[in-house]
Amino acid sequence: MQMAVPRWKAALEKALAAHSKSTGRTIFMQLASIDPSTPVPHVRSVIFRGFVSPTDNPAHPLLLATTDVRTPKTAQMIANPHVQIVWWIDGSQEQYRIAGKAHIVPAPGHTLHKHFLHTIKSLSEGGSFDWEAKRIEVFKSMSPVMKASWCRPTPGSRLEGGEG
């Protein structure tokens, strides 16, 4: 028996839709991960890309965000996949906080892809969900400015000519 969509998801979708409609702005969420070398939490804003249900089970939705795979948060989530995200929806004065595990879905040619192949398959119950098609769909929906940001130097790297 398939379960219904969780109440938190329905409420969050309603709040996010109202926010987008009233502001026309991109929806950001804050993502906290742990740096395994310190262990200190790090929080940063990421763009929320939507929900997916690769298991065809609406009771277990996955949240989708994108990041530059070269960023420190990627290594942090590989070392410890436990993360928290939070939204503050200004118009409705609502906060949503969700804890869970993060999974990286890199391009098939990327060195991390082989490492996460088992995770990707387990998330899609035998591999029936096409994560590569979803990854490409999300990439194509991004603005040219966002795509160009991944051609810049590695995030967090020291730039030559800067002050010491």
Burial of 90 by CB count in 10 Å (0-12 exposed, 13-18 middle, 19+ buried)?
exposed
Q: d(Cα 61, Cα 50) in Å, to the nearest integer?
A: 10
Report how far residue 100's alpha carbon sits from residue 118's, in angstroms, rounded to the nearest whole number.
18
* Structure tokens that stand for 23 in this block: 């502001």
Name the CATH architecture for the domain at 7-105. Roll (2.30)
pLDDT of residue 86: 96
Lookup: tokens for 162: 């800067």
- Which residue in 27, 32, 30, 31 sits closest to 92, CA to CA? 27
Comparing 78 with 84, the larger pLDDT belongs to 84
**How do residues 56-70 score in pLDDT, each as one tens digit?**
677 788 899 988 888
pLDDT score of 123: 59
- Percentage of the chain surpassing pLDDT 70? 88
More confident residue, 77 or 126: 77
Q: Nearest to residue 36, comparing CAs of 63, 65, 74?
A: 74
* Number of Cβ atoms within 10 Å of the Cβ of 101: 12
Give backbone dihedrals phi and psi of 21, rounded to 5 degrees, phi first.
-65, -40
> What pLDDT, on a 0 to 100 scale, did the predictor assign at position 1?
52
- Going by pLDDT thresholds of 50, 70 and 90, the confidence category of residue 128 is confident
pTM exceeding the 0.75 threshold for the entire prediction: yes
Q: What is the mean pLDDT of the chain?
A: 84
Q: Is the pLDDT of residue 164 over 70?
A: no
Answer with the residue of higher pLDDT: 13 or 127: 13
